[in-house]
Structure 1
Amino acid sequence: MRRSGTVVISAEPATRRRARDDAATLGPYAEDGPVMLLAHKSAEYSASVNSWLIEGPTEIGVFDAQMVIPEAEALVALLKSRGKKLSWVWITHAHPDHYAGLSVIAEAFPDAQLLARPQTAAMAPELRMRYDEPLNKFFPGLMAPPVELTAFDGERLSVDGVEVRIETFVGGEHEFSTALLIPELRAMIIADLVYNHVHPWLNEMDVDTMLAHVDTLAAIEGVDTFYPGHGEPFAKDYLPTYVQYVNDFMAEVPQATDQS
Structure 2
Amino acid sequence: MKLNKLFVAASLLMTASQFSSAAALKLEIYNPGNNSIFPVSSEIISGENEVVLIDAQFQNNDAEALVNKIKQLNKKLTTIYISHSDPDYYFGLETLTKAFPDAKVIASPATVNAIKANKDGKLAYWSGILKEQAPASLIVPEALEGNSFSIEGKPIIIQGINGEDPARTFVWIPDLKAVVGGVIVSDNIHVWIADTQTSASRQYWKNTLASIKQLDPKIIVPGHFTGKSALDIASVNFTLQYLNDFEDTAANSRNAAETIQKMTHKYPQLEDVSSLELSAKVIKGEMTWPQ
Partner AA of 1:100 in structure 2? F
- 1:41 alignment partner in structure 2: 31
- How far, CA to CA, are the matches of 2:230 and 2:142 in structure 1? 28
Partner AA of 1:6 in structure 2? K
- How far, CA to CA, are the matches of 1:199 and 1:71 in structure 2? 22
Partner AA of 1:242 in structure 2? T
Match of 1:154 among 146, 152, 157: 146
SS for the counterpart of 1:189 is: strand
- Comparing 159-168 with 82-91, which one deviates more in the overlay? 159-168
- Please list every run of 5 or more consecutive structure 1 residues that lacks an aligned counterpart in the other structure: none
4+ runs deviating over 4 angstroms: 169-172
SS for the counterpart of 2:134 is: coil
SS for the counterpart of 1:176 is: coil
Q: What is the deviation of 1:7?
A: 4.2
Matches within 5 A, 1:113-128: 113-128=104-119
- 2:212 alignment partner in structure 1: 217
Are 1:78 and 2:64 counterparts?
Answer: no
TM-score normalised by the chain length of structure 2: 0.76
Partner AA of 1:118 in structure 2? P
Are 1:6 and 2:30 counterparts?
Answer: no
- 1:239 alignment partner in structure 2: 236
- 2:222 alignment partner in structure 1: 228
Match of 1:177 among 161, 168, 173: 168
Q: What is the deviation of 1:136?
A: 1.8
Structure with the larger helix share: 2
Matches within 5 A, 1:180-195: 180-195=171-186
The change in CA–CA distance for 1:127 and 1:25 in structure 2 (over 3 A counts) is: farther
| RMSD (CA atoms) | 2.5
Aligned residues: 247
TM-score normalised by the chain length of structure 1: 0.84
SS for the counterpart of 1:240 is: helix
Q: What is the deviation of 1:95?
A: 0.7
- How far, CA to CA, are the matches of 1:42 and 1:250 in structure 2? 30
Q: What is the deviation of 1:171?
A: 6.3
Partner AA of 1:165 in structure 2? I
- Comparing 142-151 with 199-208, which one deviates more in the overlay? 199-208
Q: What is the deviation of 1:79?
A: 0.9
- How far, CA to CA, are the matches of 2:242 and 2:231 in structure 1? 16
Partner AA of 1:240 in structure 2? N
Structure with the larger strand share: 1
- Please list every run of 5 or more consecutive structure 2 residues that lacks an aligned counterpart in the other structure: 262-276, 278-291
CA deviations on 1:127-181 (whole Å, 9 max, x unpaired) are 2212223212321232111113111213321112222122225567xx6033221
